[in-house]
């Protein structure tokens, strides 16, 4: 809060400062940046020398439930939170955008950990469905720890060879 009061962050509350159009752009840009951060951090947490002390608590649920989305070891929780501390110093974000990102992240995490797929197979086979992570995609990650490291999108998994192509 002190950094904001001293004008050190790029948080703002006047929509007119960047325009209403920027709210959407900054929202999606932040989702992409968060997804990128998460992907590489998540892969690092699966390294055998790191997994036990940083991420194993989350993987106690082989069949995930919505509660699994909140099961984090302290090192993981702290490094995930670090993204939100850093992003407000890097990218101008309206307070409403930050709240929308936090809400999206929470709802998406719960949805991805349902343990069953609630969307139709038709949606999953369409272009957009192939690029979004859902319960089926993330459920495979809980069963096969070497695949599917993304948070929102399958982009990094596809690009870096950690996407299970049998899913498609």
Tokens matching residue 46 = 């699966």
Q: What is the dihedral of CA 24, 25, 26, 31, to 10 degrees?
A: 90
Flag whether the pTM goes above 0.75.
Answer: yes
Residue 156: the pLDDT is 96
Cross-strand partners of 153: 132
* Domain count within the chain: 1
Residue 168: the pLDDT is 46
Q: Which domain holds residue 42?
A: 2-167
What angle, 0 to 180 degrees and rounded to 10, lies between the N-to-C axes of helices 20-45 and 74-90? 150
How far is the C-alpha of 85 from the C-alpha of 64, rounded, in Å?
Answer: 28
Q: Name which of 90, 53, 76 is nearest 151 in CA terms.
A: 76
pLDDT in tens, the chain (168 residues): 688 788 889 999 999 999 999 999 999 999 999 999 999 999 999 999 999 999 988 888 778 888 888 888 999 999 999 999 999 999 999 999 999 999 999 999 999 888 767 665 555 556 666 888 888 878 888 888 889 999 999 999 999 999 986 654
């Amino acid at each position: 809060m002190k950094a904001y009061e001293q004008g050190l962050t790029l948080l703002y509350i006047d929509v007119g400062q960047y325009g209403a159009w920027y709210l959407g752009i900054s929202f999606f840009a932040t989702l992409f940046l968060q997804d990128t951060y998460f992907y590489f951090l998540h892969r690092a947490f699966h390294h055998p020398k790191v997994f036990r002390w940083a991420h194993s608590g989350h993987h106690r649920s082989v069949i995930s439930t919505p509660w699994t989305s909140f099961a984090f070891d302290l090192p993981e929780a702290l490094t995930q939170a670090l993204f939100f501390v850093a992003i407000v110093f890097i990218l101008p974000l309206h307070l409403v955008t930050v709240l929308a990102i936090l809400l999206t992240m929470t709802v998406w995490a719960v949805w991805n950990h349902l343990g069953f797929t609630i969307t139709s197979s038709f949606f999953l086979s369409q272009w957009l469905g192939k690029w979004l992570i859902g319960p089926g995609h993330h459920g495979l990650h809980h069963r096969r720890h070497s695949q599917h490291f993304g948070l929102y999108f399958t982009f990094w998994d596809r690009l870096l060879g950690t996407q299970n192509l049998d899913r498609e």
